[in-house]
Amino acid sequence: MSPVDTLANAVLAGDRRALARLITRIENRAPDAAAALAALFPHTGRAYIVGITGAPGTGKSTVVNALARTLRAQDHTVGIVAIDPTSPFSGGAVLGDRIRMTDLAGDRGVFIRSMANRGSLGGLAAATGDVVRVLDAAGFDIVLIETVGAGQSEVDIARTAYTTIVVDAPGLGDDVQAIKAGILEIADILVVNKADRPGADNTVRALRAMLELGHRLRSAGHHGPLLNQDDAPPEPALDLWTVPILKTVATEHAGLDELAEAIERHRAYLGESGLFEERARQRVQAELATRLREELLARLLDDRSPAAVADVIERILARRLDPGSAVRELLNGR
Ligand SMILES: Nc1nc2c(ncn2[C@@H]2O[C@H](COP(=O)(O)OP(=O)(O)OP(=O)(O)O)[C@@H](O)[C@H]2O)c(=O)[nH]1
Ligand SMILES: [Mg+2]
């Protein structure tokens, strides 16, 4: 048996150290990671993937930690991937892990991994997808992905989940500003954490108003295609899910049963409505596009000398070459 098969088999057999080792190889883009991922792929597709995102400091890690405990109490095994925007050396990741470790340490039904947000954004998305698949293959029932909803890449990662939870909290300044409109759009469940703090009900009200506005815009947008002719593309299944707004006090473990129940309801809704399959197809499409883009760019830049690329940049700056022609020139290898 090759070392790669051994590693993949060890992961399938529940070997924690093999799991950690493989994830490190994925992060480092070690060549043998790809083969292990290919071997594990047939064993994926069973885990339910939940994304947790929101502004910095809203309590995402604390919610993830508390949610994991609730899910464990319900006998689900839980894998956690935290995309940490801060360098491991600045304390962010270390602190986050310490918080979680105190609660979940020693529980074999939980596996926690934080990944530093380094390298290219597309690379991080691909690596996160791979790590989630490894946890899936390793047999975790539920995989939680924590990302800070600060940039597009984090939003994209959260969007790869089946159910996306957006966490807000009172006291982040202007309640409506605290949550970016783009993030609100991807929420299947809204959580107002730190509900022990003053202003929680205002945050709930502000979010509800924003949701209602977004909903009205969405339903207005649905009239056009419905009136179209026969050759119109098939109408996508209508998302009639009502986004619940839940209050939690993650530090006191309050509101977590309701959150777990909302995830379960959303999961059932996706299945019954046909949205689950539709989104699975969209996810595959999006992932292929991202990976192709990354891979093609990497290959092209491998082929071209840095001097050739620098030369093209200089000529564009001097207005002697337009960017479109520059791309064609680079592709044609002249
Ligand atoms: N009062 C109160 N504090 C909370 C609650 N949940 C979390 N906190 C505190 O808020 C702070 C930030 O919590 P984290 O869970 O690290 O927040 P986060 O959103 O993961 O932060 P980043 O990952 O850095 O964006 C910590 O000091 C928590 O103890 C809560 O329900 N109530
Ligand atoms: Mg965190």
Q: Is the CB of 129 under 6 A from ligand 1?
A: no
Lowest model confidence (mean pLDDT) among 142-151, 226-235, 276-285: 226-235
The whole-number pLDDT of residue 228 equals: 47
Q: Which ligand is nearest to the CA of 81?
A: 2
The whole-number pLDDT of residue 159 equals: 67
CA gap 50, 283 in Å, rounded: 14
Q: Which ligand is nearest to the CA of 57?
A: 1
What is the distance in A from the centroid of ligand 2 to the CA of 74?
24
The whole-number pLDDT of residue 325 equals: 96
Q: Can you tell me the mean pLDDT for 39-47?
A: 96
Q: Tell me the three state secondary structure of residue 102.
A: helix
Q: Which ligand is nearest to the CA of 53?
A: 1
The whole-number pLDDT of residue 204 equals: 93
Q: Is the CB of 91 under 6 A from ligand 1?
A: no
Q: Is the CB of 151 under 6 A from ligand 1?
A: no
Helix (H) or strand (E) holding 2: none
Question: What confidence category does residue 164 fall into, taking pLDDT thresholds of 50, 70 and 90?
Answer: very high
The whole-number pLDDT of residue 183 equals: 78
Structure confidence by residue, pLDDT tens digits, 200-215 = 999 999 899 888 887 6
Q: What are the residue ranges of helices labelled H in the chain?
A: 3-12, 16-27, 31-40, 60-73, 92-104, 121-137, 152-159, 181-185, 200-221, 223-226, 256-273, 275-303, 306-317, 323-332
What residue type is 246 in one-letter code?
L
Q: Scanning the structure block, which residue is given the tokens 């690596």?
A: 127
Residue 163 clears pLDDT 70, i.e. is over it: yes
Q: Are the C-beta atoms of residues 59 and 99 closer than 8 Å to each other?
A: no
Q: Are the C-beta atoms of residues 179 and 186 closer than 8 Å to each other?
A: no
Phi and psi, residue 222, nearest 5°: -85, -10
Alpha-carbon separation of residue 125 from 89, 167, 207, 307 (angstroms): 22, 21, 28, 29
The whole-number pLDDT of residue 184 equals: 82
Q: Is the CB of 61 under 6 A from ligand 1?
A: yes
Alpha-carbon separation of residue 72 from 75, 98, 104 (angstroms): 5, 19, 10
The whole-number pLDDT of residue 283 equals: 87
Residue 262 clears pLDDT 80, i.e. is over it: yes
Q: Can you tell me the mean pLDDT for 21-48?
A: 93
Residue 276 clears pLDDT 90, i.e. is over it: yes
Q: Is the CB of 53 under 6 A from ligand 1?
A: no
Ligand 1 atom at minimum distance from 55 CA = 25
What residue type is 168 in one-letter code?
D
Ligand 1 atom at minimum distance from 58 CA = 19
The whole-number pLDDT of residue 27 equals: 86
The whole-number pLDDT of residue 327 equals: 92
Ligand 1 mutation pick, 62, 144, 246, 248, max ligand atoms within 8 A of CB: 62
CA gap 129, 333 in Å, rounded: 32
Alpha-carbon separation of residue 224 from 211, 233, 296 (angstroms): 22, 12, 37
Q: Can you tell me the mean pLDDT for 52-60?
A: 89
Q: Can you tell me the mean pLDDT for 311-328?
A: 96
The whole-number pLDDT of residue 226 equals: 44
Token output for 102 = 């105190």
Residue 89 clears pLDDT 50, i.e. is over it: no
What is the distance in A from the centroid of ligand 1 to the CA of 9?
38
Residue 301 clears pLDDT 80, i.e. is over it: yes
Q: Is the CB of 163 under 6 A from ligand 1?
A: no
Residue 121 clears pLDDT 80, i.e. is over it: no
* DSSP 8-state assignment for residue 119: S
DSSP string, 187-219: -SEEEE--TTSTTHHHHHHHHHHHHHHHHHHHH
Residue 230 clears pLDDT 60, i.e. is over it: no
Q: Tell me the three state secondary structure of residue 274.
A: coil
What is the distance in A from the centroid of ligand 2 to the CA of 165?
14
Ligand 1 mutation pick, 102, 192, 251, max ligand atoms within 8 A of CB: 251
Is the model more confident about 26 or about 229? 26
